[in-house]
Chain A
Amino acid sequence: MATDHGKHGETNINAYGNNYNTMTPGPFAKWMRTCVIFQAIRFIIINIKMIIVVRKSH
């Protein structure tokens, strides 16, 4: 496996290695993961989704 810890996950892909066929996020997708405003919205959405499943399960 490559040892380059670059910003882009794709630099860690090892041609024909076990991680060759997966998808990797680009810089924008990674930035969104810790973007507070976007994540605050996701927080609400995930909570709603979880509450629905929790209610269905009780």
Chain B
Amino acid sequence: MARLVVLGGGVSGHTAATFAAKWLGSAHEVVVVTPNSKWNWIPSNIWVGVGQMSKEDVTFDLAPVYAKAGINYKQAKAVSINPEGSESLEKPFVTIEYTLEGREGESENVEYDYLINATGPKLNFAATPGLGDANGLGEHTVSVCTADHAVHAASELDKCIEKMKAGERQKFLIGTGHGMCTCQGAAFEYIFNIEHEVKKAGVRDMADIKWISNESFLGDFGIGGLHMKSMGFAVSSKIFAESLFTERNVDWMVGAHVSKVEKGSVDYELLDGSTGTESFDFSMLIPPFAGVGLKAFNKAGDDMTSDLFAPNGFLKVDAKYDAGAYENWKASDWPETYQNPTYENIFACGIAFAPPHPISKPMSSPNGTPITPTPPRTGMPSGIIGKVVAHSVCDKILKGSDAPLHKASMAEMGAACVASAGKGIFSGTAAAMTIYPVVPDFDKYPGTGRDTEYTFGEIGLAGHWIKHILHHLFIYKAKLSPGWTLIPE
């Protein structure tokens, strides 16, 4: 009997573990180590953050789902990996620390034959003074990165709406909280959902809404922007984004590294080297992401974390990490199999794998401050990569260790994204987009780097309906309800 251990039960790890359990059946064991008792459909946290959904709407208990799937569920967080075992344990193992009520802090070594690291991001609030610290989110801003954060954000938003109703102007500052952030799409959704809600509340005239982000241009989204076919033109996402911001009367500042957050204001540095301060009454700033800080030890117990993990804490896979300057970047730098180059039985998927480099062109201010989006790994690629990695591991277990690996490069994969711009069955809108491929391939598609036949976008009510349907569909799928395997990632 082989044992597959999956670290992290989020979008990517849950996909990997549930497919592996289905394909392996009861002859082999799948273990999931994840610290939360609930699964969270993170994209809908945006609607929790404006009070349009509850935490219960976007989460469900993992234990019954894993029991149904025959998965051995350990509510714990992984602390370290011993890929060669140790002096006392022959097999490779992961050291975990329970978070389960009643067993908090208890440690256990879980042996594995195959390991998938899907631990997602550490929300690195501590990277910006005042944005937070090692314990997480600080007191001056709000966040929508977790369901609990979003519940708090909604209550703060309510207070602002009440103040506006009482005649007090409010300034909303939404965007990224550091020069090296990703996930601009989530902030984009949140700013337009706030705009929609304050309009609904009848206080739009009392709200000044401003975007602040590390993108070098509006509509970059960490993927270097995209050109979409529209009215016979290939139109840059910059035009569409600027158009929407103008139409909804949302001001913007780009190329900004937030260097400090204080009560009611942020300090920032811009790409031209200038600095400034922006005030706010309500602010949601996405923190930079890092790996979750797993350690690695060799058989003798020596620290070998830097062999297994990149400096940003993400797990090294089959990517080209020495591509160098932007001019040398190629689509082939991006990983295909997500297998660790040193340990063939270790894989990573979703945000947990170390990308070779950003997707957007790196930029820095004349003072040397890097102000450049790091590459996003959104839901669809995270799900697809999780499934592909599970497929490779299952083939190795079922067909033999030399079974060929399955591939899913982000430079050959598309993504469908729906960015909400306001919720409402008849008044809602969302930008529905497809992009192909996610990572531009300028050799294959000279000019825009993407196939404009398959890269499109439009905003409207239809996009909102799709977003709402996807909310229910993905929760249905994650609960392993009948027919779940038919729903694509």
* Chain A residues proximal to chain B, CB less than 8 Å: 1-5, 9, 12-13, 18-19, 21-25, 30, 32-36, 39-40, 42-43, 46-47, 49-50, 52-54, 56-58
**A56 vs B435: C-alpha distance when bound (angstroms):** 11
* Residue from the list B414, B458, B465, B466 in contact with A53, Cβ < 8 A: B414
Can you list 25 residue pairs at the A/B interface with Cβ under 8 Å? A3-B249, A5-B205, A9-B243, A22-B242, A25-B243, A32-B460, A33-B460, A34-B426, A34-B427, A34-B429, A39-B460, A39-B465, A43-B465, A43-B466, A46-B462, A47-B466, A50-B416, A50-B432, A53-B416, A53-B436, A53-B454, A54-B416, A54-B488, A56-B454, A58-B384
* Chain B residues proximal to chain A, CB less than 8 Å: 204-205, 239, 242-243, 245-249, 251-252, 380, 384, 413-416, 426-427, 429, 432, 434-436, 454, 456, 458-463, 465-466, 488-489
State the majority secondary structure of interface residues on A. helix
**What is the minimal beta-carbon distance from A9 to any residue of chain B, in angstroms?**
3
**A32 vs B458: C-alpha distance when bound (angstroms):** 12
The verdict on A5 contacting B458 (CB below 8 Å), with A33-B429, A34-B429, A43-B465 known, is: no
Name the residue on A nearest B466 (C-beta). A46
CB-based contact A5/B434 at 8 Å: no
The verdict on A9 contacting B466 (CB below 8 Å), with A23-B239, A34-B460 known, is: no
**What is the minimal beta-carbon distance from A56 to any residue of chain B, in angstroms?**
6
Q: Which 3 A-B pairs have the closest CB atoms?
A: A9-B247, A22-B242, A43-B462
**What is the minimal beta-carbon distance from B230 to any residue of chain A, in angstroms?**
10
CB-based contact B462/A40 at 8 Å: yes
**A34 vs B202: C-alpha distance when bound (angstroms):** 19
Q: Which residues of B contact A58 (CB under 8 A)?
A: 384, 488-489
**What is the minimal beta-carbon distance from B243 to any residue of chain A, in angstroms?**
5
CB-based contact B246/A56 at 8 Å: no
Q: Which of B239, B415, B416, B436 has the most CB of A within 10 A?
A: B416
